[in-house]
């Protein structure tokens, strides 16, 4: 493929995070402390693409999702969405947030038990000022589109299965015709067979509505299935970001490597030995290790890892990694630095 062909095929950027950080206040005994949930994260999502985010529980995935959709405010850094820059501390209006929707993990608690399915989907449309007639039409359209034909409009959440309820949540997100949908563990609470149906539905809807997804899950198999690119998070840092194909074939960061080794294999003969991750506890986000946060569990840790945070740099075209084992290639040092390093 020629360079010209490649550049015309690259879709424009929809969402960009520039060096975004978030700390939460906490208490350790009587002492005030801070949890560093997201620290200096920079990511890019292109229009029509899916950016997967993986990492163990507590690494900051949900906080990242909430920062993107404005449920949590950044302490520093900025969120650029659809050409508009939102700096830390600037609250976004309802209008600013209209083009982004979020689908949460628990399909039941996201729905008001006293509202019918039709009311649940109509409510955000009405608060955004969509006319009554248009709301009615959109509720019917999205319910049919997620496979809930018939009289589901008048049903209450308790009358539906978990999979049906998550279809309702997806329908509600789509009804506002968003550009971005943030899916935070959206299929994690569902049975495997239902999960597969919802994932395929999401893929169909993505093409049909031209959606971009930020797809967050601790389940590496699901992320591989859904994503164009994947960011691997560890204790609030992005340690690697590249195409899904390349990450699963040839991960560069030692953390990505152990994480991928720990994926349960269907064939028992392919199963690896005990993962290196079982050797060490995840350090506390109240007191994360200096330098590279993974160094306390890394089999390759060097002195420099304790003193200097490795920047997230492009070590190969399109493949970013934050690790002192993978220094910036000579040819790349002349280019713009990639934000993310303090």
Ligand X SMILES: Nc1ncnc2c1ncn2[C@@H]1O[C@H](COP(=O)(O)OP(=O)(O)O)[C@@H](O)[C@H]1O
- List interacting residues with Mg ion (CB under 5 A): 61-62
- How far apart are CB 246 and ligand X at their closest, in Å? 23
- Interior/surface letters 45-73, b for 16+ CB within 10 angstroms, e for the rest: bbbbbbbbbbbeebbbbbbbbbbbbbebe
59/111 with CB nearer Mg ion: 59
- How far apart are CB 94 and ligand X at their closest, in Å? 22
**Which range in 11-19, 54-62, 102-110, 135-143 contacts ligand X by CB under 6 A?**
54-62
- How far apart are CB 258 and ligand X at their closest, in Å? 17
| Nearest residue to 49 (alpha-carbon basis) of 250, 321, 318 | 318
Phi-psi region of 150 (alpha: psi -120 to 50; beta: other; left: phi over 0): left
Per-residue binder mask for ligand X (CB under 6 A), 273-292, x = binder: ------------x-------
- Judged by CB under 6 A, does residue 102 bind ligand X? no
Binds ligand X (CB under 6 A): choice among 50, 63, 135, 256? 63
- Judged by CB under 6 A, does residue 58 bind ligand X? yes
171/216 with CB nearer ligand X: 216
50/62 with CB nearer Mg ion: 62
From the list Mg ion, ligand X, none, partner contacted by residue 37 (C-beta under 5 to 8 A by kind): ligand X
Cα→Cα distances 103→59, 171, 184, Å: 19, 10, 6
The phi, psi pair for 226, rounded to 5°, reads -95, -25
From the list ligand X, Mg ion, none, partner contacted by residue 60 (C-beta under 5 to 8 A by kind): ligand X
β 31-46/50-54 pair status: unpaired
**Which range in 52-60, 164-172, 248-256, 268-276 contacts ligand X by CB under 6 A?**
52-60
212/217 with CB nearer ligand X: 217
From the list ligand X, Mg ion, none, partner contacted by residue 59 (C-beta under 5 to 8 A by kind): ligand X
Binds ligand X (CB under 6 A): choice among 18, 61, 125, 205? 61
Number of residues counted as binding ligand X (CB under 6 A): 13
Binds ligand X (CB under 6 A): choice among 11, 26, 89, 210? 26
Length of the chain: 342
- How far apart are CB 230 and Mg ion at their closest, in Å? 16
- How far apart are CB 157 and ligand X at their closest, in Å? 24
55/178 with CB nearer ligand X: 55
- How far apart are CB 218 and Mg ion at their closest, in Å? 8
E strand residue ranges, the chain: 13-28, 31-46, 50-54, 76-81, 84-87, 100-103, 180-184, 212-216, 229-234, 237-243, 313-316, 319-321
DSSP string, 185-224: STTTTS-HHHHHHHHHHHHHHHHHHT-EEEEE-S-HHHHH
From the list ligand X, Mg ion, none, partner contacted by residue 311 (C-beta under 5 to 8 A by kind): none
**Which range in 51-59, 135-143, 268-276, 304-312 contacts ligand X by CB under 6 A?**
51-59
β 237-243/319-321 pair status: antiparallel
For CA atoms 257, 262, 266, 269, give the dihedral sign: positive
Taking the CB of residue 287, how many other CB atoms lie within 10 A of it? 12
| Nearest residue to 202 (alpha-carbon basis) of 249, 163, 158, 243 | 163
**Helix, strand, coil in percent for the chain, rounding step 5:** 35, 25, 40
- Judged by CB under 6 A, does residue 237 bind ligand X? no
């Amino acid at each position: 493929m020629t360079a010209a062909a490649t550049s015309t095929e690259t879709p424009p950027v929809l969402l960009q995070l520039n060096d975004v950080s978030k700390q939460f206040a906490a208490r350790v005994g009587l002492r005030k402390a801070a949890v560093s949930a997201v620290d200096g994260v920079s990511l890019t999502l292109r229009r029509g693409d899916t950016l997967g985010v993986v990492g163990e529980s507590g690494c900051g995935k949900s906080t990242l999702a909430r920062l993107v959709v404005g449920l949590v405010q950044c302490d520093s850094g900025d969120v650029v969405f659809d050409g508009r820059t939102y700096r830390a501390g600037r609250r976004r209006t309802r209008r600013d947030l209209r083009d982004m929707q979020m689908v949460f993990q628990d399909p039941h608690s996201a729905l008001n038990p006293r509202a019918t399915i039709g009311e649940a989907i109509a409510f955000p449309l009405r608060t955004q000022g969509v006319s009554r007639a248009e709301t009615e039409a959109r509720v019917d359209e999205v319910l049919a589109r997620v496979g809930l034909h018939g009289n589901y409009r008048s049903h209450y959440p308790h009358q539906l299965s978990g999979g049906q309820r998550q279809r309702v949540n997806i329908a509600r997100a789509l009804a506002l015709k968003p550009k971005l949908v943030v899916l935070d563990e959206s299929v994690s609470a569902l049975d495997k067979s239902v999960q597969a149906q919802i994932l395929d539905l999401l893929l169909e809807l993505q093409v049909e509505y031209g959606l971009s997804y930020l797809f967050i899950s601790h389940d590496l198999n699901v992320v591989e299935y859904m994503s164009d690119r994947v960011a691997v998070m560890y204790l609030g840092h992005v340690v690697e970001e590249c195409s899904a194909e390349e990450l699963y074939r040839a991960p560069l960061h030692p953390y990505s490597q152990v994480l991928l080794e720990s994926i349960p294999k269907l064939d028992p003969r392919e199963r690896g030995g005990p993962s290196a991750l079982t050797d060490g506890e995840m350090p506390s986000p109240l007191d994360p290790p200096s330098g590279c946060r993974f160094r306390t569990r890394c089999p390759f840790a060097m002195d420099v890892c304790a003193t200097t945070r490795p920047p997230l740099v492009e070590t190969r075209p399109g493949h970013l990694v934050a690790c002192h084992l993978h220094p910036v290639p000579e040819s790349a040092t002349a280019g713009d630095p990639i934000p993310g390093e303090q």
